[in-house]
């Protein structure tokens, strides 16, 4: 199922539910088909990797996907997670806005 989201790669988001509630990080990847996002250094899991000819194996830490519904865009002005709106600028560009303070979030 595709999940509609206005969150994009490189956005700063805050986790609003689950084990990592309150954690903030940059979006590494958005996976609308899965309804999940990968957020840098958030929801880390340890993976054991087997030794191969090319790698030495061992334990690596990597990000596990978070449900899109469990994260919100972090508005730098409100200093909290917010919902995103959108508006069209005078020059015709469509930008995302903070629904709370109205700040334009795209440059």
Polymer length in residues for the chain: 107
Residue 93: both structure tokens together:
């560009």
CB 58 within 8 Å of CB 49: yes
Residues 39-68 vs Zn ion: string with x where CB under 5 A?
------------------------------
Please tell me whether residue 14 binds Zn ion under the rule CB under 5 A: no
Please tell me whether residue 100 binds Zn ion under the rule CB under 5 A: yes
Output 43 or 73, the one with its CB closest to Zn ion: 73
Q: Which of 21, 77, 87, 93 binds Zn ion (CB under 5 A)?
A: 77
CB 77 within 8 Å of CB 47: no
What minimum distance in Å lies between the beta carbon of 103 and Zn ion?
Answer: 5
User: Do β-strands 84-88 and 94-98 pair in parallel, antiparallel, or remain unpaired?
Assistant: antiparallel
d(CA 21, CA 58): 29
Please tell me whether residue 17 binds Zn ion under the rule CB under 5 A: no
Please tell me whether residue 75 binds Zn ion under the rule CB under 5 A: yes
Q: Site size for Zn ion, by CB under 5 A?
A: 7
d(CA 70, CA 48): 27
Residues that bind Zn ion in the complex, under the rule CB under 5 A: 75, 77-78, 98, 100-101, 103
């Amino acid at each position: 199922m595709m999940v509609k989201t206005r969150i994009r790669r490189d956005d700063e988001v805050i986790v609003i539910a689950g084990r990592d509630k309150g954690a903030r990080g940059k979006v590494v990847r958005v996976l609308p088909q899965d309804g999940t996002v990968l957020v840098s250094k958030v929801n880390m899991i340890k993976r054991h990797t087997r030794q191969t000819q090319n790698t030495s194996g061992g334990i690596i830490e990597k990000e596990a996907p978070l449900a899109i519904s469990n994260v919100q865009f972090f508005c730098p002005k409100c200093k909290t997670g917010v919902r995103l709106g959108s508006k069209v600028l005078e020059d015709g560009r469509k930008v995302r806005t903070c629904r709370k303070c109205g700040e334009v979030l795209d440059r």
